[in-house]
C-alpha cells in the first residue's frame, strides 16, 4: 500500500473514533456537557392568572426613581405591585392616565421579598394608563429588588372553574433569643408611627462593655440611637435599620472597657401594616 493510501486510512480511523491526530500525540474524544449540571428553576411565584404585566424595573441603588411607560392601549380597573429578589421600601407611586390626569394611591410601605400590594382600585372605571412613576429604595443589607406592576380589567377577568389550591401551612415561628449571660437594661413599646424613648439605666446596669437591641411583637425601623456613658461621653453606634419581628442587632462594643451607661435615647417607628413593636436593650460584662 503506498504512502498516500496509508495517510487516508489513518484519517478515516481518526474520524470514526472521534479522536484527532496532532503533533505530539492523539487527543481523546471531546467531553460532553456535565451531566450533574441542572439549571435553576427558581421558587414558587405569585399566580398572575387574570392579570396583565404592564412593566418591570430593577432598583439600582439605595434610592431610585423609575418610570414605566405603558404601551398597551387597553383599559384597566385595578393595579397590583409585586416585589421579588430582595426587600424594598416604596416611598411614592404616581399613575398618569391617557387624559393627563395624575393619581397617587399612597403606597408608602416596606415590602418583604416575595410580597405584593393589595389590589388597588383605580378612580373611575376602565381607565387607560400612559405611565407609572415609582420612587423606592433597596433596604440595608439586601440585594437589588425587582418590581413588577400588573393590571386587571374586570370585564375580562378570569373566573376559575375549580377551587383555588389551599394555602401552604405557615412557617414555624423563629427560635427565641437566649439572653443567658446578658442583663436586661430596659424595655419600651413603640406607641406610634414615630416615637422617641429614653432608657434610663444608671448604676442599676452596673459596668458593661457590650450592648444588644432585641425587637419583638412587630417589625420596626430604628432611625437614631445615642448612648450616654459615664463622664459625659456620647456614643452613636450605626444601628439605623429596618428590623423584622424577633430579630436583634449584633453585639455592639462600647468604647473603652467596663463603662457605666447613664441613659440611651432611641428614635424609631412601627412599620406600616404592623402592630406595636417592643424593644429590649441588654448589656454584658465580658469579664463575667
Beta carbons within 8 Å of 141's beta carbon, 6+ residues apart: 241
User: Which H or E element spans position 14?
Assistant: helix 3-17
- The reported pLDDT for the residue numbered 13 is 44
User: Which H or E element spans position 279?
Assistant: strand 278-284
- The reported pLDDT for the residue numbered 118 is 85
- The reported pLDDT for the residue numbered 39 is 32
- The reported pLDDT for the residue numbered 27 is 43
CATH of domain 183-284: 2.60.120
Average pLDDT for consecutive 10-residue bins of the chain (288 residues)? 50 43 42 35 63 90 86 87 88 92 86 87 88 87 85 72 73 69 90 84 88 87 91 86 82 85 89 79 85
Beta carbons within 8 Å of 270's beta carbon, 6+ residues apart: 190, 192, 193, 195, 218, 219, 220, 276, 277
- The reported pLDDT for the residue numbered 165 is 76
Q: Which CATH class is domain 52-156?
A: mainly beta
- The reported pLDDT for the residue numbered 34 is 36
Distance (Å, whole) CA 57 – CA 223: 28
- The reported pLDDT for the residue numbered 22 is 35
Domain limits of the chain? 52-156, 183-284
- The reported pLDDT for the residue numbered 200 is 93
| 61 grid coordinates | 441603588
Topology agreement, domain 52-156 and domain 183-284? yes
- The reported pLDDT for the residue numbered 18 is 41
- The reported pLDDT for the residue numbered 95 is 94
The answer to whether the beta carbons of residues 263 and 160 sit under 8 Å apart is no
Beta carbons within 8 Å of 138's beta carbon, 6+ residues apart: 59, 61, 62, 64, 86, 87, 88, 89, 144, 145
Amino acid at each position: 500500500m503506498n504512502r498516500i493510501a496509508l495517510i487516508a486510512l489513518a484519517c478515516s480511523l481518526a474520524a470514526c473514533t472521534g479522536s484527532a491526530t496532532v503533533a505530539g500525540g492523539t487527543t481523546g474524544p471531546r467531553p460532553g456537557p456535565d451531566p450533574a449540571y441542572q439549571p435553576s428553576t427558581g421558587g414558587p411565584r405569585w399566580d398572575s392568572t387574570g392579570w396583565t404585566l404592564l412593566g418591570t424595573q430593577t432598583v439600582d441603588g439605595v434610592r431610585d426613581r423609575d418610570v414605566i411607560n405603558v404601551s398597551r392601549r387597553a383599559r384597566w380597573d385595578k393595579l397590583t405591585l409585586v416585589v421579588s429578589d430582595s426587600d424594598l421600601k416604596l416611598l411614592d407611586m404616581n399613575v398618569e392616565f391617557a387624559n393627563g390626569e395624575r393619581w397617587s394611591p399612597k403606597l408608602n410601605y416596606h415590602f418583604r421579598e416575595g410580597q405584593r400590594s393589595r389590589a388597588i382600585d383605580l378612580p373611575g372605571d376602565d381607565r387607560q394608563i400612559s405611565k407609572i412613576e415609582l420612587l423606592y429604595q433597596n433596604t440595608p443589607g439586601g440585594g437589588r429588588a425587582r418590581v413588577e406592576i400588573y393590571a386587571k380589567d374586570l370585564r375580562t377577568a378570569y373566573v376559575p372553574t375549580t377551587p383555588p389550591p389551599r394555602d401552604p401551612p405557615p412557617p414555624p415561628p423563629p427560635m427565641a433569643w437566649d439572653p443567658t449571660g446578658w442583663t436586661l437594661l430596659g424595655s419600651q413599646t413603640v406607641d406610634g408611627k414615630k416615637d422617641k424613648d429614653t432608657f434610663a439605666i444608671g448604676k442599676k446596669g452596673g459596668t458593661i462593655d457590650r450592648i444588644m437591641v432585641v425587637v419583638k411583637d412587630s417589625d420596626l425601623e430604628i432611625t437614631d440611637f445615642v448612648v450616654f456613658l459615664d463622664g459625659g461621653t456620647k456614643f452613636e453606634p450605626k444601628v439605623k435599620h429596618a428590623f423584622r419581628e424577633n430579630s436583634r442587632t449584633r453585639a455592639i462594643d462600647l468604647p473603652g472597657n467596663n463603662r457605666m451607661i447613664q441613659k440611651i435615647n432611641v428614635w424609631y417607628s412601627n412599620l406600616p401594616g404592623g402592630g406595636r413593636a417592643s424593644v429590649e436593650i441588654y448589656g454584658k460584662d465580658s469579664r463575667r
